[in-house]
Amino acid sequence: MFKINENYLKLPGSYLFSTIGKKVAAYSAAHPDKAIIRLGIGDVTQPLAPAVIEAMHKAVDEMGDAASFRGYAPDLGYEFLRTAIARGDYAGRGADIQADEIFVSDGAKCDSGNIQEIFSLDNKIAVCDPVYPVYVDTNAMAGRTGEYDPKTERWSRVIYMPCTAENGFAPELPDETPDLIYLCFPNNPTGAAITREQLQVWVDYANRVGAVIIYDAAYEAYISEERIPHTIYECEGARSCAIELKSFSKNAGFTGVRLGYTVVPKDLKCRDVSLHALWARRHGTKYNGAPYIIQRAGEAVYSEAGREQLAKQVQTYMYNAKTIREGLKAAGYTVYGGINAPYIWLKTPGKMTSWEFFDYLLEEANVVGTPGAGFGPSGEGYFRLTAFGSYENSVAALERIRKL
């Protein structure tokens, strides 16, 4: 009889956003007359920018002509896109990352789940708590996290770094030494950001103890303050200890288009083995590349017109963030985030747990958010709202919450 990967059985329930989706669908089916406002999953609502659409149309035409038709994409991604990324996201910020250190993929979620495959199962991971569930769940699926304790909601082999109001939602260096450190800044879910100096402390630490930082910079486009780094490679020494994950979902509205990339610098080595070579081997074996049309769309994100149009989209979302943040504050809520990130992280009122507050908001205000506990034990007592809705919906949701 065949056997299954029993690590899957240790995973608690379903994926956070699937659980929320099911709850909302059940409520909606029972109350078809209610207009629900969804500020739960961080999914964009603005249409693709005209520069992106134009590039896609052109690429579609090329695919329809034998002379310009393209089959399989190159393993690492098309040179035109990797060059645009290296220039736009790194050279312009004084970060030394070359085009051939960039691996184009169909999104940062897959990369953030798959990257653990190139590391030994003996490695110990450290994660912020609360945390984007994908990092821990995918390590659990691989069998790296030990046993799950439903009482504490913790895995026995994972080092949790609490991020709460007390430490400004910035993790402290752990007592126990990890091998892999997952950091996401600007942060999902808390919306917090750390300064260049704070990030440098992590880079120095990783180089000192021989750890790798897996740095998720998916929300980089939302940074508004000068002292916040846009990439970990702004820090000295990051080339020898950090992998960076980037997404086109939030800065360019590609949640349904799918495009992302991972940077593995050639200086990043385990003794004399290059992690770049391992990830290239994995990428070439398991992946056939993001579609040509989508990679052309990605290139357009870095064009002058694309940049201008997308900066406006980001501004619009950040205006929603400001509206929700200020509105909730005025209504007496304790609110964090929303300055360098499209997430508002609020304290649940009174003694309500985050899932109780979720049900209360859904039933009484018909507003969907994300309970903090879904991101880890330290998320209990907090609640996340996204700024990715329309302005009208953000204002309407705010009004409904205020009235409660």
Contact between 167 and 113 (Cβ < 8 Å): no
10: phi then psi, degrees, rounded to nearest 5? -80, -15
42: phi > 0 → left, psi -120 to 50 → alpha, else beta; which?
A: beta
Q: Which is nearer to ligand MLT, 109 or 325 (CB)?
A: 109
* Residues between 130 and 149 that touch ligand MLT (CB under 6 A): 132
Count of residues in the chain:
404
How many CA atoms, within 13 angstroms, populate the side-chain half-sphere of residue 91?
11
CB of 54 to ligand MLT, least distance (A): 26
Q: Is 109 in the site for ligand MLT (CB under 6 A)?
A: yes
Q: Is 41 in the site for ligand MLT (CB under 6 A)?
A: yes
Q: Which residue carries 């288009």 as its tokens?
A: 257
CB of 60 to ligand MLT, least distance (A): 27
**Peptide linkage before 74 cis (omega within 30 of 0):** no
* Residues between 152 and 191 that touch ligand MLT (CB under 6 A): 188
Amino acid in the structure at residue 299: E
Q: Mask: binding to ligand MLT, 236-255, rule CB under 6 A, as x and -?
A: --------------------
Q: Is 42 in the site for ligand MLT (CB under 6 A)?
A: yes
CB of 151 to ligand MLT, least distance (A): 25
Q: Which is nearer to ligand MLT, 11 or 41 (CB)?
A: 41
Number of CB atoms found within 10 A of residue 65's CB? 8
Rg (CA), the chain: 21
CB of 371 to ligand MLT, least distance (A): 12
d(CA 200, CA 196): 6
Q: Which is nearer to ligand MLT, 235 or 257 (CB)?
A: 257
d(CA 42, CA 106): 17
Number of residues that bind ligand MLT (CB under 6 A): 5
Q: Which is nearer to ligand MLT, 41 or 270 (CB)?
A: 41
Contact between 321 and 338 (Cβ < 8 Å): yes
Q: Which is nearer to ligand MLT, 104 or 134 (CB)?
A: 134
Q: Which is nearer to ligand MLT, 178 or 369 (CB)?
A: 369
* Residues between 279 and 338 that touch ligand MLT (CB under 6 A): none
Q: Which residue sits closest to ligand MLT, CB atoms considered?
A: 42
Helices and strands, counts by H and E, the chain: 13, 17
Q: Which is nearer to ligand MLT, 107 or 265 (CB)?
A: 107
Nearest to 246, CA basis, from 95, 394, 41: 95
CB of 344 to ligand MLT, least distance (A): 13
State the residues that interact with ligand MLT by CB under 6 A. Answer: 41-42, 109, 132, 188
